[in-house]
Amino acid sequence: MKLAIATLIGWIMLFPAFVGSIHAATAPDTIGPDRITIGTLDFSRAGEANIFDGNLTEEMRASLQANFPGVRIEPTPAITAGFLASMDMLIVTNAAGDRDDNWLTVTEQEAVGNFIENGGAAMVFAEPYFGLSAQNVVDPFRVTFALELIQDVNLFRFVNPPNNPVANGPFGTAITAYSSYYGWFSDLGPYAALLATNDSNDMPSAAFIPENAMAPGSGRVLIFADATIVSDAEEGFFHVNETMFLNGVHYLTEVPEPAAFFLCLGGIAEIWFMARRNRFTP
């Protein structure tokens, strides 16, 4: 009788954690809105394309603040390890009128790479209109930009939309994204996987790097071969690509909880074995 009562108490104590762990496994927790801190280059480096106060990113900024109410955007004139230490995510673009291949310094590239390897996340918009700096901004991820430019309107077609984290997420479904004056990647390198292709030439126009790809414990990255997809209406297409952008932010910042489900199973198994042992012990 005592054994039966003890076993019942054990089951009762484990049940809430068991149910909670199932919920966590089916709907992973995310970084709360008040805990998402996004780092970006300031006006001195990114001009009007900077997401902190640039005129070309007003719609993006308003959307972030409306859908992630506690988000903080922190600008910096230089990307350093110290700056990134307090960031959850980095948004960077070369759409600032600088065509140099040293737009990000070697030190900045190393800081970005280390940030991702240590679990940080990044969203990168490589603008082909500004030449070599488009390659420079994707160098930390070993992706190769074709450095060709088509001066026309384009559609990004997302691959495998039902399972694509940008095309299909909590903010809705986006089968395509609009861009203009666009380019593409010639090689996605050892870490990245295809996210979208250009409708005009079927070349890679967006890629993602999943967690643990660059190193054990490394974070996620989204890379786009254009910046007009998130620019304001006069210069770009954020108004029609908002769903894609918000799904992307969610994908980059979601953090699955530890697998408590399996810990619960272990506890249940232990109770079962104890009951079996006591049952057959004289």
pLDDT band at 101 (very low <50, low <70, confident <90, very high): low
Residue that wins the pLDDT comparison between 162 and 203: 203
Residue 16, pLDDT score:
41
Residue 98, pLDDT score:
61
| Rounded Cα distance, 157 and 202, in Å | 9
Residue 178, pLDDT score:
86
Residue 186, pLDDT score:
95
Give 169-197 pLDDT, tens digit per residue.
999 999 888 888 888 999 999 999 999 99
The residue length of the chain stands at: 282
For residue 121, pLDDT over 70 is answered with: yes
For residue 70, pLDDT over 90 is answered with: no
The answer to whether 168 touches 127, Cβ cutoff 8 Å, is no
List 180's β-bridge partners, or say none. Answer: 153
Residue 172, pLDDT score:
94
Residue 97, pLDDT score:
62
Taking alpha carbons only, the member of 75, 74, 100, 63 closest to residue 240 is: 63
For residue 110, pLDDT over 80 is answered with: yes
User: Tokens 């902190």 belong to which residue?
Assistant: 52
CA distances from 115 to 79, 108, 256 (A): 10, 10, 19
pLDDT band at 58 (very low <50, low <70, confident <90, very high): very high
Residue 131, pLDDT score:
79
Q: What are phi and psi of 167, to 5 degrees?
A: -75, -30
E runs forming strands in the chain: 37-41, 72-76, 89-93, 121-125, 144-145, 150-158, 168-169, 172-173, 176-182, 185-187, 193-198, 204-209, 221-224
Range from 30-39, 111-120, 130-139, 241-250 carrying the lowest mean pLDDT: 30-39
Give 216-262 pLDDT, tens digit per residue.
999 999 999 998 888 887 768 899 999 999 999 999 998 654 443 34
Return the axis-axis angle of helices 2-26 and 260-279, rounded to nearest 10°.
Answer: 160
Which two structure tokens, joined as six digits, stand for 225? Answer: 């071969």
Residue 103, pLDDT score:
81
Give 12-42 pLDDT, tens digit per residue.
444 444 334 333 333 334 444 457 999 999 9
Taking alpha carbons only, the member of 27, 14, 26 closest to residue 263 is: 14
Q: What are phi and psi of 76, to 5 degrees?
A: -150, 145
195 contact partners, CB below 8 Å, separation of at least 6 = 158, 159, 164, 166, 204, 206, 207, 208, 222, 223
Which two structure tokens, joined as six digits, stand for 255? Answer: 């953090």
| Rounded Cα distance, 273 and 267, in Å | 10
Residue that wins the pLDDT comparison between 280 and 39: 39
| Rounded Cα distance, 103 and 80, in Å | 14
The answer to whether 58 touches 51, Cβ cutoff 8 Å, is no
Most confident of 72-76, 153-157, 267-271: 72-76
Residue that wins the pLDDT comparison between 96 and 136: 136
Average pLDDT over residues 267-274: 45
Residue 152, pLDDT score:
80
